[in-house]
Amino acid sequence: MSISIRSPRDFCAGLIFLFFGTLAAYIARDYPMGSAVRMGPGYFPYVLGILLALLGVVVCIKSLLMHGERIESASLRALSLVLGAVGAFAGTIEGFGIVIATALLVGIGAAASPESRPREVAVLIAFLLALAVGVFTYGLGLPFRIFPV
């Protein structure tokens, strides 16, 4: 019998768990372990990391033995544009102010949907800009810079 991955979803999930578990245990090794009476900061995360890594291995092995569903294809457009929009907001809010950050966020974000229409997006940006400046900045008094200085 040849070994093949029968449940791709579980196999990938197992790898992720294995990765984070190993990483956590590896980093936690450098923190003082202490003793059972006086636990050091390394003790709890080290144990958790080992457990997580072990579970990752179990999930991986199970995925070789039991059939499971395939991973649905991901929409790279939705993923990259939504996260890109959030990234643009994070990158511009402090240096360039709320107006530019909002326009970028809504503009890039709206393009993530295959149904998006340019004219609608323009109206939406205008509306949300008014909201961000009027309600959030002036109304609620959130400390945003409005325009780049």
Identity of the residue, 3 or 23, whose beta carbon is nearer to another protein in the bound complex: 23
Residue 65, class by beta-carbon neighbours within 10 Å (0-12 exposed, 13-18 middle, 19+ buried)? exposed
Helix, strand, coil percentages (3-state) for the chain, rounded to 5, are 65, 0, 30
Interface with another protein includes 51 (CB under 8 A)?
Answer: yes
Interface with another protein includes 130 (CB under 8 A)?
Answer: no
Interface with another protein includes 6 (CB under 8 A)?
Answer: no
Interface with another protein includes 13 (CB under 8 A)?
Answer: yes
Q: Which residue of 100, 126, 134, 140 would you call a contact of another protein, by CB under 8 A?
A: 140
Neighbours of 25 (CB within 10 A): 19
Query: Which value, to the nearest 10 degrees, does the dihedral of the CA atoms of residues 84, 89, 92, 96 take?
Result: 140
Q: Which amino acid is at 79?
A: L
Query: Which value, to the nearest 10 degrees, does the dihedral of the CA atoms of residues 41, 46, 48, 50 take?
Result: 180
Measured CA distances, 117 to 27, 80, 120, 121 (Å): 48, 18, 5, 6
Identity of the residue, 2 or 121, whose beta carbon is nearer to another protein in the bound complex: 121
Shortest reach from residue 144's CB to another protein, in Å: 8
Chain contacts with another protein (rule: CB under 8 A): 9-10, 12-13, 16-17, 20-21, 24, 27-28, 31-32, 35-41, 44-45, 48-49, 51-52, 55-56, 58-59, 62, 69, 71-72, 74-75, 78-79, 82-83, 85-87, 89-91, 93-94, 101-102, 105-106, 109-110, 112-117, 120-121, 124, 128, 131-132, 136, 140, 142-143
